[in-house]
């Protein structure tokens, strides 16, 4: 039985998806049973890499989600609206949905899954995180026997490219960003990537799957990479680290229940850590669970082909279900969303982590002593203090702490800022 699908969007990923579906030879036989009957685009005038027979391409996106013949709507528009409304309308019409849209799923997943469960349809999103890397289905199914303890990912290729290039060339953030934009690796408006928002959307989705509860996107503590300088990368190197933008979801036992840490920030990663060697636009996700231990997923986190590979795998999943059991209102719990509650998130001030901090100070007696005493008074134990370089007249003092409570660390910094000899604190980074 052929299954009719409608694509919303024919950009990079839409084109990649159509190319796979229109060329099924040598791939899974299920692909031969899928017909693209409509493709929704914003403009009919744009030149297209894939050709469809007359009438398939339309600017009337609503006609796709309302088409009674279409069983699966594949949303590849990106952005919040009209993606959210079209997904909800497709669900209301009892269509299954496949999406690559991390922004809409991270922010409106609760509403979308409640509607999908009510309507008895699937909303699958393998392509939303890690591009071509299989990570959603492994978390839902293959790793389901484990208690997940942490998910740590490099899940934004743009920032990983920028940090890798800064490390390789000793260059500063601004110049590498400009070059990345010229090469098409970074968007003209790089905000979502460089400020960590894209990674925050993705870790919200992964956390929800790994920790068995819904997650509010605004609960993800998010810091981007604009503050990372060539000097920090050099100091990190000397101390045995590389700097990566990590997205972290980690369970901590709270007083009464499990609490979840959710954060995105530039992080000093020990050079021998599995995530330290992930360079360029690649993504990787390190999952730790009990009894499994660690497993790392690595691969291309973006791009037409890899992302389309994930989109088509979701389409195939639904086609297989439609062909084997027909339309049913009983959803497979290993594919649908079965969460009933929101995870409890630990406030950032209460999280214990290690910090790297770079101070610029006048080179006068007593500054390092004052730092030691002030940190000590606030229960912040130091692992190392080095003074190597100068910026003009100002000495650079780099401090690495042991695991300390973020709130205590911030209080100590507020006191240190008041010392006259301290000019500024240009960098505060966390250490894995
Ligand atoms: N903008 C993302 C990245 C790719 O740089 O990784 C799409 O998720």
pLDDT in tens, 79-121: 999 999 999 999 999 999 999 999 999 999 999 999 999 999 9
Q: Is residue 15 part of a domain?
A: yes
Residues 50 and 145 in one domain: no
Q: pTM here? A: 0.95
Q: Is 30 exposed, middle or buried (0-12, 13-18, 19+ CB in 10 A)?
A: middle
CATH number at residue 276: 3.30.360.10
Asked whether residue 366 is domain-assigned, the answer is yes
Same domain? For 153 and 228 the reply is yes
Q: What is the pLDDT of residues 267-317, one digit of tens each?
A: 999 999 999 999 999 999 999 999 999 999 999 999 999 999 999 999 999
* Same domain, residue pair 102 and 67: yes
Let me know whether 154 and 277 are in one domain.
yes
Ligand 1 contact, 162 CB (< 6 A): no
Q: What are phi and psi of 41, to 5 degrees?
A: -130, 165
Which stretch of DSSP H or E encloses residue 394? strand 394-401
The answer to whether the CB of 132 is under 6 A from ligand 1 is no
Strand partners, 385: 399
Q: What is the model's pLDDT at position 183?
A: 87
Measure 395 CA to ligand 1 centroid, in angstroms: 38
Q: What is the CATH number of the domain that holds 389?
A: 3.30.70.260
Mutate to test the pocket of ligand 1, among 301, 303, 309 (most ligand atoms within 8 A of CB): 301
Q: Provide, rounded to the nearest whole percent, the portion of the chain with pLDDT above 70.
A: 98
Q: Is 165 a catalytic residue?
A: no
The whole-angstrom separation of Cα 136 and Cα 310 is: 10
CA of 147 to the centre of ligand 1 (A): 28
Contact predicate 95/68, CB 8 Å: no
Q: If you take atom 2 of ligand 1, which residue's CA is the nearest one?
A: 156
**Residue 380: enclosing H or E segment and its boundaries?**
none
**Residue span of the structural domain in which 144 resides:** 136-298
DSSP for residue 272: T
Residues 165, 256 share a domain: yes
pLDDT tens figures, 377-389? 999 999 999 998 8
Q: Residue 104 maps to which CATH number?
A: 3.40.50.720
Q: Which atom, in ligand 1's list, is nearest to the CA of 155?
A: 6
Closest-lying ligand 1 atom to the alpha carbon of residue 100: 8
Cα–Cα dist 421/12, whole Å: 53
| DSSP state string for 147-159 | EEEEEEEE--HHH
Summarize the confidence of residues 49-60 as an average pLDDT: 95
Residue 41 belongs to some domain of the structure: yes
**C-beta of 302 in contact with ligand 1 (< 6 A):** yes
**Buried-exposed string 131-140: b where 16+ CB fall within 10 A, e elsewhere:** bbbebbbbbb
In a domain, 253, yes or no: yes
Nearest-angstrom CA–CA distance, 98 and 106: 15
Statement to judge: residues 251 and 173 lie in one domain:
yes
Give the domain-ending residue among 288, 319, 339: 339
pLDDT at 389: 84
Instruction: State in Å: Cα 180 to ligand 1 middle.
Output: 13
Could you tell me if residue 12 is left (phi over 0), alpha (psi between -120 and 50 degrees) or otherwise beta? alpha
| CA distance linking residue 336 with residue 260, whole number of Å | 22
Pocket of ligand 1 contains residue 289 by CB under 6 Å: no
Residue 359: what pLDDT? 97
Same domain, 171 and 66: no
Identify whether 344 is part of a domain.
no
Residues 121 and 159 in one domain: no
Quote the CA–CA distance of 135 and 250 in Å, as a whole number: 17
pLDDT confidence of residue 330: 84
Percent of the chain with pLDDT over 90: 91
For residues 362-388, average pLDDT:
95
Exactly one of 38, 202, 244, 250 is catalytic; which is it?
202
166 and 290 part of one domain: yes
Confirm whether 91 is domain-assigned: yes
Same domain, yes or no, for 250 and 387?
A: no
Both 158 and 41 in one domain: the answer is no
271 within a domain of the structure (yes/no): yes
Q: How many whole angstroms from 212 Cα to the centroid of ligand 1?
A: 25
Task: Please tell me if the CB atom of residue 301 comes closer than 6 angstroms to any atom of ligand 1.
Answer: yes
CA nearest ligand 1 atom 8, residue: 302
Number of structural domains the chain divides into = 3
The verdict on 73 and 179 lying in the same domain is no
| Structural element, H or E, at residue 143 | none
Q: Which two tokens stand for residue 281?
A: 């636009």
Nearest CA to ligand 1 atom 4: 302
């Amino acid at each position: 039985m052929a299954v009719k699908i409608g694509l919303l969007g024919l950009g990079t990923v839409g084109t990649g998806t159509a190319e796979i579906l229109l060329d099924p030879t040598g791939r899974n036989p299920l692909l031969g049973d899928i017909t693209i009957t409509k493709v929704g685009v914003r403009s009919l005038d744009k030149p297209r890499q894939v050709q469809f027979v007359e009438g398939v391409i339309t600017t009337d996106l609503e006609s796709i989600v309302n088409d009674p013949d279409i069983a699966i709507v594949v949303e590849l528009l990106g952005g919040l609206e009209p993606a959210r409304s079209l997904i909800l309308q497709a669900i209301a019409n009892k269509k299954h949905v496949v999406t690559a849209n991390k922004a809409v799923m991270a922010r409106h997943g609760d509403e979308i899954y409640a509607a999908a469960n009510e309507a008895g349809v699937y909303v699958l999103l393998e392509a939303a995180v890690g591009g071509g890397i299989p990570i959603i289905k492994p978390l839902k199914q293959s790793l389901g026997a484990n208690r997940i303890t942490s998910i740590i990912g490099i899940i934004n290729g743009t920032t990983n490219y920028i940090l890798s290039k800064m490390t390789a060339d000793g260059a500063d953030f601004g110049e590498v960003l400009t070059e990345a934009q010229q090469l098409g690796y970074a968007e003209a408006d790089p905000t979502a990537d460089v400020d960590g928002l894209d990674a925050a959307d993705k870790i919200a989705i992964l956390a929800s799957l790994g920790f068995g509860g819904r997650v509010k996107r605004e609960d993800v503590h998010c810091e981007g990479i604009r503050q990372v300088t060539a000097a920090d990368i050099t100091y990190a190197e000397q101390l045995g680290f590389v700097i990566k933008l990590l997205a972290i979801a980690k369970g901590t036992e709270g007083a009464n229940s499990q609490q979840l840490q959710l954060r995105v920030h530039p992080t000093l990663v020990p050079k021998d850590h599995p995530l330290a060697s992930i360079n360029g636009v690649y993504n990787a996700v390190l999952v730790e669970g009990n009894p499994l231990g660690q497993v790392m997923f690595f691969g291309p986190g973006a791009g037409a082909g890899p992302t389309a590979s994930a989109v088509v795998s979701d389409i195939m999943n639904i086609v297989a279900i439609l062909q084997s059991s027909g339309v049913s209102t009983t959803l497979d719990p290993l594919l649908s969303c079965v969460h009933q509650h929101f995870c409890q998130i630990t406030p950032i001030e209460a999280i214990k982590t290690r910090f790297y901090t770079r101070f610029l100070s006048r080179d006068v007696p007593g500054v390092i002593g004052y730092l030691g005493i002030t940190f000590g008074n606030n229960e912040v134990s130091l692992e190392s203090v080095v003074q190597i370089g100068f910026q003009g007249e100002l000495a650079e003092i780099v401090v690495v702490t042991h695991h300390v409570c973020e709130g205590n660390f911030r209080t100590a910094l507020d006191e240190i800022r008041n010392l006259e000899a301290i000019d500024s604190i240009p960098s505060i980074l966390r250490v894995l």
